[in-house]
Amino acid sequence: MPKVTIDGTSVEVPEGTSILNAAKQAGVRIPTLCHMEEVHAIGACRVCVVEVEGAKTLAASCVMPVADGMKISTHTKRVREARRTVVELLLSEHNGDCQVCDRNNDCELQALAHELDLKSIRFEGLKTAAGLDTSTPGVVRDNGKCIKCRRCVAVCGQIQSVGALFPQFRGFKTVIGPAFGADLDTVACVQCGQCAAVCPVGAITEKSHIAEVWKALDDKSKTVVVQVAPAVRASLGECFGMEPGTLVTGKMVAALRRLGFSAVFDTNFTADLTIIEEGHELLHRLTLAVKDKKPVALPQFTSCSPGWIRYMEYFYPEMLPYLSTCKSPQQMFGALAKTYWAGKVGKKAEDIVVVSVMPCHAKKSESERPEMNDSGVRDVDVALTTRELGRMIKQAGIDFNALPEEGMDSLMGASTGAADIFANSGGVMEAALRTVWEVVTGRELPFLNLHVPPLMGLSGIKQAEATITGTLPAWSFLEGVTVKVAVASSLSNAKALVDKIKAGEVSYHFVEIMTCPGGCIGGGGQPRKTTNAIRQKRINAIYREDEGKKLRKSHENPEVLKIYADFLGEPLGKVSHHLLHTKYGARQRV
């Protein structure tokens, strides 16, 4: 292994390690604006330059591998001056306005300028042309602020296999964006927001809907209720300086109540409901396939992740019959809040405003889908990201850290641990198995602590299988059947898995797909920045939340049982069909 000296400290690192990563081992942080660990090292921003003894020019440390005996200096006069010049040049083009920028105080360029102690910018020249693109429901782009680091290009192309963003044109006129510099709605974009999650500056953000929520809360004629997705409770604390992986469920509920929502509900409630509906849908398909020997679309794909739905619609329209017809928990919640809950509290659907807090940009897009109005009006009125909720709490002057722990409101607020784990890649599958296994055998899922270890963790594609034995009489046709399941997170992994399934190389009964790497805990709307280490901490927090609950199986949720008794009747019944299930349609890719 090569030995190198970095700022006087010797380290030994594996062959091929970049200077940047070797420096981390030596306890030296080299600043960068384009590097993304394990994803993207292209030396685009030039901020990471270092001096290598004997080399004529400075080296971009993110792309320069170490060589044995290298002597590297990361803050010589030459390096400091070069770095300063690079940042000044970036700022001379940067068409931003820090005070009114979405990323004020959360901007990597701003932070670096501060760190370098820049007091003025020596260079004057043209600014990058401002170009605000608000054409899509969830993502806002401003080319004027873009520093062309190409992180978004890497996540959109490599991680998500979408390729909506790519460098267009050349030289100073280069813009990072959709084909020929047009707006995002002209190309196939799934609205996952992973671009916004990695953007170092304010060039890509969520479309803010904070004003709409304040307006609804100010309107005394409206009853405003809120639902919170499972992943938010494991990340919201980061908006207030807490360690990633801090669970803030109770404080989050308290904060929402103080913001003025009439009722604080849990998307977990409809996550449990999803398991009942989607689990029975799977059993229905298995019955058709195994018992009736009829042709049926298997594997069944999960449908909770709206980026994945859009991806299917654009890239695999022929596979749409394989998707579960279940709406996502967010949309189930909206439809039920404006029918079931409205009836319970004697309100009209049009007088209720449903706000959701999601780790996601695509949920904004999903809430705007024209078919999502089965309550008679738009089912979910506003979808906020985790970051937007954090900002609202600050705007209200709430001292988040000092809040007491409070519980969700009843009727649509109870949840089991099975719902919490929807936030993690593999969680929906595990939750479904916990219920389906018990429906079929009358016994608990035979894994330690109700977990399915092969489906846990950050691997992009995971699989598991189990042979069903000891079935209840009604399900005897499943006796001895080996149930095969697979889980993929990130759309490039989803694509790889779907291609294998299409080619007949693998076969499964049930497949869970999450758009974002690691699942919703790594969603585009989560606090920045999300790294694999932070993903893992949030995943662990979610499993802790699950394990800390008395009820950990969706079919045990008392409020879910109540809604079937009072309102829905039975899973896959007439009311469910109307309110909880939907259809999808092909979209033109180009």
Strands 300-301 and 510-514: parallel
Q: Which residues of 437-459 are buried (b: 16+ CB within 10 A; e: fewer)?
A: bbbbbeeebebeebbbeebbebb
Task: Look at residues 137, 194, 153, 117 and name the one whose alpha carbon lies nearest to residue 44.
Answer: 153
AA identity, residue 462:
K
- Sketch the per residue contact string, 230 through 269, with another protein: x for CB under 8 A, - otherwise: ----------------------------------------
Angle (CA) 179 185 189, round 5°: 80
Q: Is 503 in the site for another protein (CB under 8 A)?
A: no
Specify the residue, 92 or 168, whose C-beta has the smaller distance to another protein: 168
Residues near 233 by beta carbon (within 8 Å), at least 6 away in sequence:
247, 248, 249, 252, 420, 541, 545
CB atoms < 10 A from the CB of 336, how many? 27
Strands 71-73 and 3-6: parallel
Positions 560 through 589 that interact with another protein (CB under 8 A): 589
For another protein, the closer CB: 307 or 329: 307
Q: Near another protein by CB under 8 A, which window of 167-175, 364-372, 388-396, 571-579?
A: 167-175
Exposed, middle or buried: residue 489 (CB in 10 Å: 0-12, 13-18, 19+)?
Answer: buried
C-beta separation of 224 from 256 below 8 A: no
Q: Is 146 in the site for another protein (CB under 8 A)?
A: no
Contact flag: residue 321 with another protein (CB under 8 A): no
Per the CB < 8 A criterion, the answer to whether 184 and 192 are in contact is no
Q: Which of 77, 119, 170, 220 binds another protein (CB under 8 A)?
A: 170
Q: Which of 45, 113, 165, 440 binds another protein (CB under 8 A)?
A: 165
Q: Going residue by residue from 173 to 212, which x/- string records binding to another protein, judged by CB under 8 A?
A: ----xxxxx-----xx------------------------
> How many Å from the N-terminal Cα to the C-terminal Cα in the chain?
48
Choose, by CB under 8 A, the member of 123, 169, 172, 477 that binds another protein: 169
Query: 552 - beta bridge partners?
Result: none
Q: Is 477 in the site for another protein (CB under 8 A)?
A: no
Least distance in Å: CB of 194 to another protein?
15
Contact with another protein (CB under 8 A) among 135, 166, 257, 262: 166
Count of residues engaged in binding another protein, rule: CB under 8 A:
19
ω into residue 251 within 30 of 0, thus cis? no
Minimal distance, residue 169 CB to another protein, in Å: 5
Active site residues: 278, 281, 304, 324, 363, 366, 371, 520
- For another protein, which stretch binds (CB under 8 A), given 156-164, 247-255, 316-324, 576-584? 156-164
- Residue 187 or 514 with smaller CB distance to another protein: 187
Binding site for another protein (CB under 8 A): 157, 162-170, 177-181, 187-188, 589-590
